[in-house]
Each structure stands twice: as C-alpha cells, then as structure tokens.
C-alpha cells in the first residue's frame, strides 16, 4: 500500500458514526440526566467506534512501519478487536437498559475495565507470538539461502563434470537415471531441511570443503590420462558425502 494513500473511506465513516452517536446521545436524553454516567457511556462508545474503524488504519500503519507483522496475524488482530468492541457494546446496552437498577456503577465500570485489560493482554500475546514466528521464519529463510548457495555451486561443478565426460567420451553408470554420479549428492543436499542447520551449523562449512575437494577431483579428471581411476575416487567421495548427509538428517529427525 502506498504511503501517500490515506484511508478516506474509514475516516469518513468514522466521522459520520461519531456525529450520529453524539446526536443520538443528546437528542434522546434529558438535560438533567446528563451526569457522569452519561459522559462515561458517551466517551466509551466513541472509543469503541474509534477502535472499530481505526483497525483498518492501524493495519496500514503497521504495514508501513518497521515492525515485521505477518499478514496472517491481521485476522487474529481483527477477531480480538471486534470481539472486544461487540462485547463492550453489549455490556453498555445491557447495563443501561436492563441492569442499571441491579448492578452498581462501580461494578459496571470494573467489568469494562477488566474486559479492556483482557483485550490488551491478548493483543500483547498475539503480538509476541507473531514476532517470535516472524523471527523463526527469518531464520528459516536465511538458512534456506545459506543452503541454496552451495547447492547451486555443486550444480555448476556437475555441469562441468558432464561436459568433461562428454568431451572425453567416458561412459559412466549412474543410479536411478541420474545425469551424473554427482547428481546423487545434489539431490541429497536439496532434501535437507533448512532448520537442520540450527542443529548442525558447521554443515555449511562441510559443504564448502566438499566443493573444494570436488572441484579438485573434476580438474584432475580433466587433465588425467587415467580417468577411470580418478572417476572411482570421485564416485567414492560422492558416496561418502551422501552417507554423511544421510546420517546428519537422521540425527536431526531424532
């Protein structure tokens, strides 16, 4: 949403409802009945209207602020806020039209105060959970990026290996219709859960070490006359890397 876009519709509706509320309160009441309870009810109803129409502006402000609020949390905020608004309105109507002779003003005000405190606590809890979830998603995104970069480098080395094999007309038997023996490792790495890196932060360093060794082996195949021996070394290396990756994934699942 553009920063210059003002919520005109919500603002105009709020002003219309606010003006109507003032009109009805003063039109339907006698001057002698406009006491402290009258002022309290008027202010509280206006406050509820402000919350109701201000929610849409509030979500816009949050989206433009530096706070990382997930879009999925807005319906939760709306549910909490609208539940409070309708509950508060219901309590006001019940007290003033049915229970004012049975319940004291102090209890009436205390119930609304407790309702407001509960709403604030729930809203704070929702915000806290949302921030924690947002931080978790950020960490997961960073882990996914950290994992993707070396995997792409493995794919580049695989293409180089395939090119060398084709140029030298080397026939290599692969498993499960893989393009090359390196693809087996690439598939293993792509299946790693990104949050596994939290349990094993050195795994990226391990992958970088593999990249260095794999690059050296491919270069050796490119210049070697005895390519069969070099390919056996590479195949054994890939198998060791796959076994290590599988072992780490199994440990992560425990």
Query: How far is 209 from 220, CA to CA, in rounded Å?
Result: 17
pLDDT above 90: residue 28: no
Share of the chain above pLDDT 90, in %: 14
User: Tell me: the pLDDT tens digits for 37-53?
Assistant: 888 888 999 999 888 88
Least confident of 10-14, 16-20, 65-69: 65-69
Residue 53, both tokens? 């129409």
pLDDT above 70: residue 17: yes
Query: How far is 64 from 214, CA to CA, in rounded Å?
Result: 47
**Mean pLDDT, to the nearest integer, of 103-111?**
88
pTM: 0.60
The answer to whether 142 touches 195, Cβ cutoff 8 Å, is no
- Count of all residues that appear for the chain in the document: 254
User: Tell me: the pLDDT tens digits for 188-207?
Assistant: 888 888 777 777 778 888 88
Side-chain-facing half-sphere of 164: CA atoms under 13 Å: 21
**Mean pLDDT, to the nearest integer, of 54-70?**
64
Instruction: Give me the pLDDT at residue 176, please.
Output: 64
User: Tell me: the pLDDT tens digits for 207-220?
Assistant: 889 999 999 998 98
**DSSP state letter for 66:** S
Burial class (CB in 10 A: 0-12, 13-18, 19+), 247: exposed
Instruction: Give me the pLDDT at residue 2, please.
Output: 44
User: Tell me: the pLDDT tens digits for 149-191?
Assistant: 888 999 999 899 888 888 877 777 666 666 788 888 888 888 8
- The mean of the pLDDT values for the chain is 82
Q: Which of 35, 38, 9, 10 is nearest to 24 (CA)?
A: 38
């Amino acid at each position: 949403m553009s920063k210059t876009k003002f919520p005109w519709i919500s603002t105009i509706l709020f002003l219309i409802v606010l003006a109507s509320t003032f009109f009805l309160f003063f039109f339907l009441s006698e001057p002698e009945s406009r006491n402290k309870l009258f002022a309290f009810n008027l202010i509280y109803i206006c406050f509820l209207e402000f919350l109701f129409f201000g929610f849409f502006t509030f979500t816009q402000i949050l989206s433009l602020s530096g706070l990382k609020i997930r879009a999925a949390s807005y319906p939760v905020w709306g549910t909490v806020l609208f539940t409070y608004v309708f509950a508060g309105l219901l309590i006001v109507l019940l007290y003033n039209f049915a229970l004012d002779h049975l319940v004291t003003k102090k209890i009436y005000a205390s119930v609304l105060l407790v309702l407001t405190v509960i709403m604030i606590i729930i809203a704070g809890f929702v915000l806290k959970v949302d921030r924690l979830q947002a931080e978790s998603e950020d960490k997961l995104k960073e882990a996914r990026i950290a994992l993707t970069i070396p995997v792409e480098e493995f794919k580049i080395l695989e293409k180089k290996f395939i090119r060398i094999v084709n140029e030298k007309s080397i026939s290599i038997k692969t498993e499960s219709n893989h393009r090359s023996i390196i693809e087996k490792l690439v598939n293993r790495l792509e299946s790693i859960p990104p949050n596994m890196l939290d349990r094993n932060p050195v795994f990226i360093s391990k992958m970088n070490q593999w990249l260095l060794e794999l690059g050296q082996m491919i270069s050796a195949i490119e210049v070697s006359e005895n390519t069969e021996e070099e390919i056996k070394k590479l195949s054994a290396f890939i198998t060791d890397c796959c076994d290590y990756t599988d072992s780490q994934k199994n440990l992560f699942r425990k």
